[in-house]
Structure formats: structure tokens, C-alpha cells
Amino acid sequence: MSSTAIGRQSEGGSRSWWFDPRFAIGLGLVAASVLGVLGLVAAADGGVQVFAARSALSPGDRIDAGDLVAQSVRLGGAEVKYLSSGEVPEAGLVVTRAVSAGELVPASAVGNPAGIRVASVVVTVQGELARSIAAGESVDVWSARETENGVFGPPAVLVSSATVVRIVPSQGIIAERGGESVEVLVPRTKTARVLEAIANQDAISLVPVSIPVKG
């Protein structure tokens, strides 16, 4: 092999490892262009995932995630008014007003299934509450009807094992009279009796179901 051919081979071999900076700049520009396009698409989308009804929903229907279709929509900050994918519990939901097929499901159109069995009622108790009464505790609701002016008859249990939701801060007339307002969950079958006692201004008391071990 001639010295000229060897030189060319050597020259060609050295060229195979040669790196042109312009090539790197070109790759950088292509990558930047791709990232820019992806960013513009993401910004243009800007959608949030909310649920739409797969079929028409009627009040009283029990639904779960399988009855809904997730859709990406742009609501301009109004997404809190609609049911999102993370707001459907395993127990499902109950439809409280009609929703058409394909319509976005308003958050106000569904409720907790427990609402079928229980109702939330605020009762006013004169005097202090037992120290163990707090949110989540079970209480018996007692009432005594006024028979004469300032004289009340024997008390009776209105609701057994009602659940305390919260103790309402005292204000206005209730605060002046030293009463306490408590929100409780009662069975719907007993709701009318509780509301009657409230309307008649019966003396209502809450008695804890259990006695705390400590405190």
C-alpha cells in the first residue's frame, strides 16, 4: 500500500472522531423547538379533569365512578362547582337532582349516601354540656315538654345514639340565655319528632352514650 493511501486512511480515520460544534448547536435548537411546542400545547390545553354523566341521572340514583366519564375542560376557575375525579368515594354518591347524559356533574347535584338514612339537626341545650360531648361522639337526645309555665313533664328519649357533628359557637339570644347549640345526625325516621320538640321549645338534653376512660 502506498504512503499516499495510508495517509488518506489515517486522515479519514481522524475525521471519524472529529466533532463539529455547529452540529451540537443544531441539536440544541431542535430540542428547544420541541420543548417549546410541547409547552405551548400544554398551556393551550390548561384543562382540569371533571366528571360528566355517562347516561341520564335521576334524583335518588346511586352512582359510582363507573357511571361517570372524566373529561378535560377549561372552566376558568369554576371547576370547584363540578365533581372531580378525586371526589367520588368508594361507597359512591346519591344523585339529588337530574343530570342529563353528557352533562358535567355539578357538585351540588350529588350527596353522601348517608344522607338517605340520617338528617342533620341543630338542637339547643340549656346549661352546660357534658365534657365528653364532642364531634364524632354518640349521645342520646332527651326532651321534656312544658306542662305549665316553667314546669316541665318527665323527660323521655327522643333519639338513641345520635352522632354529634359539631358544637355551634354561641351567639345572639342563645348566648344571652346561656344555652349551647349542637348539630347532631339523627335517623330520618326520628327527624319529625326532634323538629316537633324544637318547635314546642321543649327542654332538650344530650346524654353521652359512653363514659370516657380518661378525663
- The pTM (predicted TM-score) of the whole model is 0.55
**Alpha-carbon separation of residue 161 from 8, 167, 208 (angstroms):** 98, 16, 8
Order across the sheet with 110-111: list the strands.
62-63, 93-95, 110-111
Segments of the chain with pLDDT less than 50? 1-14, 43-44
Residue 97 to residue 114: CA distance in whole angstroms = 16
Tell me the pLDDT tens digit for each residue of 163-200: 999 999 876 555 555 579 999 999 999 999 999 999 99
